[in-house]
């Protein structure tokens, strides 16, 4: 099967509302995943897999990390290293080694974004045990809604096993667990869904619960966001009888504003057009971005970012998607490097 690989596995840093200035580390070729979520921001069909493996040589990723760590000025500004993937990062068997490598060379925290589906495996729990923050997703606690929103591969574990795995990890882990729930209108936001999620949250006892909704162009156009009002109602419902923190990540005005125009510090606006274009391609391959996202991340003036994006668009390097009244840039097919 053909697969697509990025030229680089480190991307950003990007500003994240919850983590601050975050250096992204992407472990997998897109889209190596055991789920096919309807809201996924990666605009391509998944290569469904549940098999853990060294999908990208660990040494290649460690070499990129070492190259970054050698640049003290760039590392100084960072708030966190975030291990993620254009897919499910715990499918990479080198993840534990990569976490230990970063922790051995810097005192910056390491965060992991995961769909939580592999935490029932002892080796995965051990791999993630050295991280500081683990952010597993749990979008549904009813099998029917789980199938609709996450569309797990046939080889994926049952929902009950997944919830038990997340709970077990949460109880064993000495760092923080932030449980993320992404709601899609009329798919996983019924009163029955909220009630089942509340029971799962009680079992998991995460440090925080973070509520999200569809913010960027989703893989399936029928995946619609909850309104801000509905997000507030869901938050109120989840907070009833629950003593932990519940935050809303998207679907509020504050969240949308926090997303715009923040990024790397320093005088990066002096970067060449070629380097800016390379970085833009790496960003939009991973998720659709607005002009403000790109200007903020690369610390470019909006006018300069607009000009560069216009040129890339006219050359056919980027495609446009209008979503929620905003213009998003995505990589055109020609920008993806085919690799057997």
Q: What tokens does 189 get?
A: 């936001």
- Size of residue set near ligand SF4 by CB under 6 A: 11
Tell me the C-alpha to C-alpha distance, in Å, between residue 18 and each of 25, 28, 33, 68.
17, 23, 24, 23
Bridge partners for 211 per DSSP? 181, 248
Cβ at position 219, least distance to ligand SF4 in Å: 7
Q: What tokens does 169 get?
A: 């990890």
Q: How many C-beta atoms lie closer than 10 Å to residue 126's C-beta?
A: 11
Is 312 an interacting residue with respect to ligand SF4 (CB under 6 A)? no
Burial of 269 from C-beta contacts in 10 A (0-12 / 13-18 / 19+): middle
SS3 309: helix
Spell out, one character per residue from 101 to 140, where the chain touches ligand SF4: x when CB under 6 A holds, - when not. --------------x-------------------------
Q: Where are the alpha helices (DSSP H) in the chain?
A: 58-69, 72-77, 95-105, 122-128, 143-150, 159-172, 191-204, 228-239, 253-259, 273-286, 291-298, 302-314
Residue with the two structure tokens 């960072």: 78
Bridge partners for 337 per DSSP? 5
Among 5, 18, 36, 164, binds ligand SF4 (CB under 6 A): 36
Contact stretch for ligand SF4 (CB under 6 A) within 29-37, 91-99, 223-231, 232-240: 29-37
Contact stretch for ligand SF4 (CB under 6 A) within 30-38, 70-78, 241-249, 323-331: 30-38
Task: Return the residues of window 289-308 that contact ligand SF4 according to CB under 6 A.
Answer: none
Among 42, 140, 249, 298, binds ligand SF4 (CB under 6 A): 42
Cβ at position 215, least distance to ligand SF4 in Å: 12
SS3 177: strand
Among 6, 11, 35, 146, binds ligand SF4 (CB under 6 A): 35
Closer residue to ligand SF4, CB minimum distance, 36 or 106:
36
Is 6 an interacting residue with respect to ligand SF4 (CB under 6 A)? no
SS3 201: helix
Is 91 an interacting residue with respect to ligand SF4 (CB under 6 A)? no
Is 26 an interacting residue with respect to ligand SF4 (CB under 6 A)? no
Among 37, 56, 181, 312, binds ligand SF4 (CB under 6 A): 37
Q: What tokens does 300 get?
A: 């470019």
Task: Return the residues of window 136-195 that contact ligand SF4 according to CB under 6 A.
Answer: none
Number of H helices, E strands in the chain: 12, 14
Q: How many C-beta atoms lie closer than 10 Å to residue 180's C-beta?
A: 22
Spell out, one character per residue from 50 to 89, where the chain touches ligand SF4: x when CB under 6 A holds, - when not. -------------------------------------xx-
Closer residue to ligand SF4, CB minimum distance, 87 or 296:
87
Is 33 an interacting residue with respect to ligand SF4 (CB under 6 A)? yes
Q: Give the chain's radius of gyration (CA, Å).
A: 19
Binding site for ligand SF4 (CB under 6 A): 31, 33, 35-37, 40, 42, 46, 87-88, 115
């Amino acid at each position: 099967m053909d697969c697509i690989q990025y030229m680089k596995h480190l991307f950003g840093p990007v500003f994240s509302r919850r983590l601050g200035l975050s250096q992204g580390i992407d472990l997998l070729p897109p889209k190596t995943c055991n789920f096919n979520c309807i809201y996924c921001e990666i605009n391509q069909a998944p290569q469904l897999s549940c098999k853990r493996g060294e999908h990208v040589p660990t040494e290649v990723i460690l070499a990129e990390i070492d190259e970054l760590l050698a640049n003290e000025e760039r590392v100084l500004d960072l708030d966190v290293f975030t291990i993620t993937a254009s897919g499910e990062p715990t499918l990479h068997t080198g993840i534990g080694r990569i976490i230990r490598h970063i922790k051995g060379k810097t005192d910056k925290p390491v965060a992991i974004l995961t769909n939580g589906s592999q935490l029932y495996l002892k080796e995965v729990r051990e791999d993630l045990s050295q991280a500081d923050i683990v952010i597993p997703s749990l979008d549904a606690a009813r099998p029917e809604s789980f199938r609709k929103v996450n569309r797990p591969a046939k080889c994926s574990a049952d929902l009950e096993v997944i919830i038990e795995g997340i709970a077990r990890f949460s109880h064993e882990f000495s760092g923080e667990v932030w449980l993320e729930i992404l709601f899609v209108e009329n798919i996983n936001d019924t009163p029955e869904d909220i009630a089942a999620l509340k029971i799962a949250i009680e079992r998991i006892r995460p440090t925080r619960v973070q509520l999200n909704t569809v913010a960027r162009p989703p893989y399936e156009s029928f995946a619609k966001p909850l309104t801000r009002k509905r997000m507030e109602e869901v938050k109120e419902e989840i907070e009833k009888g629950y003593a932990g923190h519940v935050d809303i990540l998207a679907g509020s005005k504050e969240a949308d504003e926090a997303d715009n125009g923040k990024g790397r510090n320093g005088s990066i606006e002096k970067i060449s057009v070629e380097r800016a274009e390379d970085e833009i391609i790496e960003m939009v391959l991973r998720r659709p971005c607005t002009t403000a996202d790109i200007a903020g991340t690369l610390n470019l003036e909006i006018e300069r970012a607009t000009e560069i994006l216009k040129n890339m668009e006219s050359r056919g390097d980027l495609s446009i998607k209008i979503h929620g009244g905003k213009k998003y840039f995505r990589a055109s097919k020609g920008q993806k490097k085919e690799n057997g």
